[in-house]
C-alpha cells in the first residue's frame, strides 16, 4: 500500500495554553509517514518557550519562529513552502487531531481518485477546558451524521452556505501550490480555499468525528461578526472571485443569494462601504 507523506502545518499565535496538546495530537496519529511543521507567528505570550520544549523532546519537528506577525494566511504560506508532503493539514494550535485523522484522510484520497482535491470530516466542538459542547454534524448512536452532508462537486453549495468544519479539511499540496497558497491579502482563508478548490476538484466527506475544534473566546471565528470587522472585506473579495468563476444560472442565483445575505450582515455590523460594494457587485450580475 502506498503511504504518501502528509505534512501537518501547525500555526501558532498566542496559544500557550493549547499548543502542546495540538502538537502531541500530531504525534499520536495511527498513520506513520507524517512531517510536523510548526510556525509561530510572532507570539507575544509563552508559546515559543513551550514549542522550544517540544522541539527538544521531538527534534524531528520542523520549527519556524517568524520575526514578525504576518497573519494566518501569510504565516501558513511560510510553512507550506517548507512542506514536502503529498497532502496538507492546516492545524490551528488550539485544535486537536483525533488519532485516526491522517489515516482516514489518506484512505479517502486513495479511494477518491485524481478528481478528489479535498477531504473533510465531522468534528467535536469543545470548550477551552476540553469539555464537549456539540458535534459539527449531529450524530446517531453509531457516530454517523444524521444530516445529509454534500460531497463531490460542492462549488455551488459552498457559495450558498457554510457547512464544512474548517479544521477537518485535508487537501492535496499540488492543488494549493498551483493556487499560490493561501491568498495573503485576506484576513481568513477557508471560504477562499473552498471556492477555489471546489471549482475544479471534488470533495470527499469522511463520516467520522476526526477533529476537536476548540471554541475559544476572542477567536478568529468570532471576530468576523464584530462591528466593522476586516473579515467582511475579505468575504467581499472572495465573492468578487466567485463572480468571475460562475458557469451557469444556478451558480449565479446562489451567488446573488449569498450577496444579499452579506449586504444584510455588513449593514448590521456598520460596514456601509462594504455593503455598497456588494450592491454594485449584485448589479453587475444582472
Q: Is 131 exposed, middle or buried (0-12, 13-18, 19+ CB in 10 A)?
A: exposed
pTM for the full model?
0.94
pLDDT at 224 over 60: no
Neighbours of 179 (CB within 10 A): 14
**Is 168 part of a structural domain of the chain?**
yes
CATH code for the domain of 200: 3.90.550.10
Supply the pLDDT for residue 125.
Answer: 97
Question: Do both 172 and 257 map to the same domain?
Answer: no
Per-residue cell: 274: 462594504
pLDDT at 174 over 70: yes
Residue 84 in 3-state DSSP?
Answer: coil
pLDDT at 223 over 90: no
> Is residue 225 very low, low, confident or very high in pLDDT (cuts 50, 70, 90)?
low
**Is 108 part of a structural domain of the chain?**
yes
Domain containing 250: what range? 230-285
Element (H, E) at 112: helix 101-112
What DSSP state is assigned to residue 242?
H
Residue 36 in 3-state DSSP?
Answer: strand
Question: Do both 106 and 236 map to the same domain?
Answer: no
Question: Do both 23 and 142 map to the same domain?
Answer: yes
Q: What tens digit of pLDDT does each residue of 115-134 get?
A: 999 999 999 999 999 999 99
Question: Do both 151 and 25 map to the same domain?
Answer: yes
Supply the pLDDT for residue 2.
Answer: 80
Question: Do both 56 and 174 map to the same domain?
Answer: yes
Question: Do both 70 and 165 map to the same domain?
Answer: yes
**Is 96 part of a structural domain of the chain?**
yes
**Is 1 part of a structural domain of the chain?**
no
Helices (H) and strands (E) in the chain, counts: 11, 9
Amino acid at each position: 500500500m502506498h503511504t504518501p507523506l502528509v505534512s501537518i502545518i501547525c500555526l501558532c499565535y498566542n496559544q500557550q495554553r493549547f499548543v502542546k496538546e495540538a502538537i502531541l495530537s500530531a504525534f499520536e496519529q495511527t498513520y506513520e509517514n507524517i512531517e510536523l511543521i510548526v510556525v509561530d507567528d510572532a507570539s507575544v505570550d509563552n508559546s515559543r518557550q513551550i514549542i522550544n520544549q517540544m522541539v527538544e523532546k521531538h527534534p524531528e519537528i520542523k520549527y519556524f519562529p517568524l520575526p514578525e506577525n504576518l497573519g494566518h494566511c501569510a504565516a501558513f504560506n511560510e510553512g507550506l513552502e517548507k512542506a514536502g508532503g503529498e497532502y496538507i493539514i492546516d492545524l490551528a494550535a488550539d485544535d486537536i487531531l483525533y488519532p485516526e485523522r491522517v489515516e482516514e484522510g489518506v484512505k479517502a484520497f486513495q479511494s477518491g481518485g485524481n478528481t478528489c482535491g479535498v477531504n473533510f470530516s465531522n468534528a467535536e466542538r469543545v470548550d477551552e477546558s476540553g469539555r464537549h459542547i456539540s458535534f459539527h454534524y449531529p450524530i446517531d448512536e453509531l457516530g454517523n451524521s444524521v444530516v445529509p452532508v454534500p460531497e463531490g462537486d460542492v462549488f455551488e453549495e459552498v457559495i450558498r452556505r457554510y457547512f464544512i468544519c474548517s479544521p477537518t479539511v485535508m487537501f492535496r499540496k499540488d492543488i494549493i501550490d498551483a493556487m499560490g497558497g493561501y491568498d495573503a491579502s485576506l484576513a481568513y482563508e477557508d471560504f477562499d480555499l473552498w471556492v477555489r478548490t471546489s471549482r475544479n476538484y471534488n470533495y470527499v466527506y469522511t463520516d467520522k468525528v476526526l477533529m476537536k475544534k476548540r471554541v475559544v473566546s476572542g477567536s478568529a471565528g468570532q471576530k468576523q461578526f464584530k462591528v466593522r470587522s476586516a473579515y467582511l472585506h475579505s468575504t467581499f473579495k472572495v465573492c468578487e472571485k466567485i463572480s468571475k468563476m460562475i458557469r451557469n444560472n444556478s451558480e449565479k442565483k446562489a451567488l446573488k443569494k449569498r450577496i444579499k445575505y452579506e449586504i444584510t450582515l455588513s449593514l448590521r455590523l456598520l460596514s456601509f462601504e462594504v455593503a455598497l460594494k456588494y450592491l454594485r457587485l449584485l448589479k453587475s450580475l444582472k
